[in-house]
């Protein structure tokens, strides 16, 4: 699997191929709209990372953040076809992007199922909804 950070000037060229996958992510996440994800990539507020071989297989939007215990690369949204088969390569690409941004740690927010997807991950916070 190959990975590339899409330059801001090329986001519009790639977005039509990515919108369906990010649309599914935004429906599950509930706090991210497809328009918000597009805007973050389009204005450079988040780095658009694509995964491809002969065709695009997945993508992520990664945002560098300063935390009290040091910089992090926050993967705010990601999707991928057969993701488990290239998950480790994806994490290597995210780590590389993080290092370029001064971060040595990647963070993800998502459902409890991420524990199975990223078995070495440590839970650092949880989100609660009260009606």
Q: Each residue of 28-64: pLDDT tens digit?
A: 888 899 999 999 999 999 999 999 999 999 999 999 9
pTM of the model: 0.90
Quote the longest CA-to-CA distance of the chain: 46
Please check the confidence at residue 77 and state whether its pLDDT lies above 90.
yes
Q: What share of the chain is helix, strand, coil (3-state, %, to 5)?
A: 40, 30, 30
Residues near 40 by Cβ (< 8 Å), separated by ≥ 6? Answer: 46, 61, 63, 76
Strand partners, 20: none
Please provide the CATH number assigned to the domain covering 2-117.
3.40.630.30
Are the CB atoms for 70 and 104 separated by under 8 Å?
yes
Domain ranges of the chain: 2-117
> Residue 75: left if φ>0, alpha if ψ -120 to 50, beta else—which one?
beta
């Amino acid at each position: 699997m190959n990975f590339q950070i899409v330059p801001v000037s090329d986001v519009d060229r790639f977005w039509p191929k990515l919108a369906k996958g990010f649309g599914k992510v935004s429906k599950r996440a509930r706090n991210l709209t497809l328009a918000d994800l597009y805007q973050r990539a389009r204005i450079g507020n988040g780095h658009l990372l694509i995964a491809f071989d002969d065709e695009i297989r997945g993508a992520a939007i990664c945002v560098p953040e300063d935390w009290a215990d040091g910089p992090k690369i926050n993967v705010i949204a990601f999707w991928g076809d057969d993701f488990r088969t290239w998950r480790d390569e994806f994490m290597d690409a995210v780590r590389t992007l993080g290092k370029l941004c001064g971060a040595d740690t990647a963070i993800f927010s998502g459902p409890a199922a991420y524990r199975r997807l990223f078995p070495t991950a440590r839970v650092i916070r949880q989100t609660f909804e009260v009606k």
